Amino acid sequence: MKLMRVGAPGAEKPAIVDGDGKIRDLSGHVADIGGDAISPEGLAKIAKIDLSSLPVIDGRVGPCVAGTGKFICIGLNFSDHAAESGMAVPPEPVIFMKATSAICGPYDNVLIPRGSEKTDWEVELGVVIGKTAKYVSEADALDYVAGYCVSHDVSERAFQTERSGQWTKGKSCDTFGPVGPWLVTKDEIADPQALNMWLKVNGETMQNGSSATMVYGVKFLVSYLSQFMSLQPGDIISTGTPPGVGMGMKPPRYLKPGEVVELGIEGLGSQKQTFVADA
């Protein structure tokens, strides 16, 4: 299933994409795409709905999941990206948090923050948790996953690496976390470690990689993170980016107001954002 949320910011309705690509209103059946609705039981109920009976809707596409309590990111998780960054592959996953206030829709404008000189792009595979995970094994890890989405881990590199402290402040600016357009349930993705990933700036391909080069895969990450914190329904794990980010270019290339970024992952849809200066 392809689940999504449609409507103005803060007033999105839960929706589902039918076999003809039409967006159908799910609000008569679930309150939102989050919480119990994305549990295994909730998804099973949605799967039984006759989609032709649901109203067709349209409008702004919002973030594909509601109620995200934690937006957890994994750094340097692609061997080829670590190489372009001039950093060693870490012996354990590098974990940092992105503020949930960064979350926005996949086609919303992205705000370049005041004082930014090095706003960068990163296409990432997002993993959406469907039920509480705590101390789970790698073998059982996917039982706790509702599905997957495209995640754009927008980054301000000067804030991230040149302003002292941890990475969070370079990752958490408003609108720095577009997710969607869809939460694609895990049954539709045969292997999350075999997905093509791409990103373009003004039509020029910058990233063209695959989740196959992830150092730590989805199963491992869900299990690993659950040893340190419980993972709750709606939490998002953004699993790292392939090579081709602006920071790794010679010379580095960063985003300016008016530039357009498009990105996507095989089976999960695509995003498109215009970058604009924050007021």
Whether 66 is covered by a domain: the verdict is no
Kindly state whether residues 136 and 268 are assigned to the same domain.
Answer: yes
The count of domains in the chain is 2
Kindly state whether residues 99 and 229 are assigned to the same domain.
Answer: yes
Kindly state whether residues 76 and 213 are assigned to the same domain.
Answer: yes
Q: Token digits for 107?
A: 């086609």
Kindly state whether residues 29 and 106 are assigned to the same domain.
Answer: no
Whether 253 is covered by a domain: the verdict is yes
Using CA atoms, how far residue 50 sits from 1, 26, 45, 47, 54, in Å, is: 13, 11, 11, 8, 7
Whether 64 is covered by a domain: the verdict is no
Kindly state whether residues 135 and 176 are assigned to the same domain.
Answer: yes
Do 119 and 112 form a contact (C-beta atoms < 8 A)?
yes
pLDDT at 116: 94
Identify the domain containing residue 17 by its residue range: 2-53
Whether 15 is covered by a domain: the verdict is yes
Q: Token digits for 44?
A: 């099973």
- In the chain, alpha helices (H): 40-47, 79-84, 157-161, 168-171, 218-226
pLDDT at 1: 98
CA atoms within 13 A of residue 45's CA, in its CB half-sphere: 11
Kindly state whether residues 166 and 252 are assigned to the same domain.
Answer: yes
Kindly state whether residues 254 and 141 are assigned to the same domain.
Answer: yes
Kindly state whether residues 231 and 259 are assigned to the same domain.
Answer: yes
Kindly state whether residues 38 and 129 are assigned to the same domain.
Answer: no
Residue 15: closest CA among 188, 187, 180, 233: 180
pLDDT in tens, the chain (279 residues): 999 999 999 999 999 999 999 999 999 999 999 999 999 999 999 999 999 999 999 999 999 999 999 999 998 898 777 777 677 778 999 999 999 999 999 999 999 999 999 999 999 999 999 999 999 999 999 999 999 999 999 999 988 877 877 778 899 999 999 999 999 999 999 999 999 999 999 999 999 999 999 999 999 999 999 999 999 999 999 999 999 999 999 999 999 999 999 999 999 999 999 999 998
Q: Which residues pair with 261 in a beta bridge?
A: 201, 273
CATH of the domain at 174: 3.90.850.10
Whether 238 is covered by a domain: the verdict is yes
pLDDT at 84: 72
Kindly state whether residues 132 and 167 are assigned to the same domain.
Answer: yes
- Give the phi and the psi of residue 203 in degrees, each rounded to 5: 85, -5
Kindly state whether residues 108 and 156 are assigned to the same domain.
Answer: yes
Whether 60 is covered by a domain: the verdict is no
Whether 158 is covered by a domain: the verdict is yes
pLDDT at 166: 77
Kindly state whether residues 106 and 9 are assigned to the same domain.
Answer: no
Whether 63 is covered by a domain: the verdict is no
